[in-house]
Amino acid sequence: MGSSLLAIGDFPLMNPLPALLIAFAVGLLAERLGWLRPNAAWAAALVGGLPLWAGGPTAALAVIFLVALGSIASRLNPKSHDRSGRTAFQVLANGLPAAIGMALGSPVFFLAALATAAADTLATEMGSRSRWAWHPLKGRVETGTNAAVSGPGTLALVLGAGLFAPWAWGLGVPAQAVVLGGIAGALADTLLGLLEDRFEWWSNDLTNLLATATGGWVALWLA
């Protein structure tokens, strides 16, 4: 093994600085493609650089897959609020818990957190096309209502989490734990969303941050 590589567990670690610089360059490209808002590349450097450093190209590609999936889903939805790309704080909220999990040597936590973000994104984008939605406290409401769920959105949620099963096989972790963790995290996102209506300081980014971390912890427990 060369002097520029370290090893933790089964994953060879490259020098962190090149990994962060590569992720920053990819983030700049994502900005140009419209996947990210301007000045969000620094967040992409953390969210993509840490997995590249700790998990190698497969882990980094899983992050890129999430970003691309979210961008495509948003652009195909004329009602989406994210058609112009994700902000830096959205990137951190959806990806930082996963990146930290990978850096700490837990690929199952990493993938389940990403699966949570994917499930929540697809549920939001597909659910907004439903005729109506159901709110835990208000009953039947208009689509797009915060913390409300719909049939199409729920199916999209399960699909989004399931899309990370192949990545689990690629990183050698239990796919079932990743998918179930992603589903659990996305459901937690809905419940945490109720707090956004109760507390002015509680933002959607905070909801996403806690939900992705929850998905990771559930998968870690199941694994």
What six digits make up the tokens of 184?
A: 């659990």
What six digits make up the tokens of 15?
A: 């020098």
Q: How much is the pLDDT for 218? A: 98
What is the tens place of the pLDDT at every residue in 92-143?
A: 999 999 999 999 999 999 999 999 999 999 998 887 777 778 888 888 888 7
Label the pairing between strands 11-14 and 5-8.
antiparallel
188 torsion bin: left (phi>0), alpha (psi -120 to 50), beta (else): alpha
Residues 6 or more apart whose Cβ sits within 8 Å of residue 201: none
Query: Which amino acid, residue 63?
Result: V
Q: Has residue 2 got a pLDDT over 50?
A: no
What is the tens place of the pLDDT at every residue in 22-51?
A: 999 999 998 988 888 889 999 999 999 999
* Closest alpha carbon to 74 in 115, 143, 122: 122
Q: What is the SS3 assignment for the chain?
A: CCCCEEEECCEEEECHHHHHHHHHHHHHHHHHHCCECCCCHHHHHHHHHHHHHHHHHHHHHHHHHHHHHHHHHHHCCCCCCCCCCECHHHHHHHHHHHHHHHHCCCHHHHHHHHHHHHHHHHHHHHHCCCCCEEECCCEEECCCCCCCECHHHHHHHHHHHHCCHHHHHHHCCCHHHHHHHHHHHHHHHHHHHHHHHHCCCCCHHHHHHHHHHHHHHHHHHHC
Asked if 161 contacts 211 with a C-beta cutoff of 8 angstroms, the reply is no
Residue spans of the domains in the chain: they are 9-222
Q: How much is the pLDDT for 128? A: 75
Local confidence band at 52 (pLDDT 50, 70, 90 cut-offs): very high
Q: What is the pTM of this model?
A: 0.88
What six digits make up the tokens of 124?
A: 């939001």
140 exposed, middle or buried (CB, 10 Å; 0-12, 13-18, 19+)?
A: exposed
Calculate mean pLDDT across residues 212-217: 98
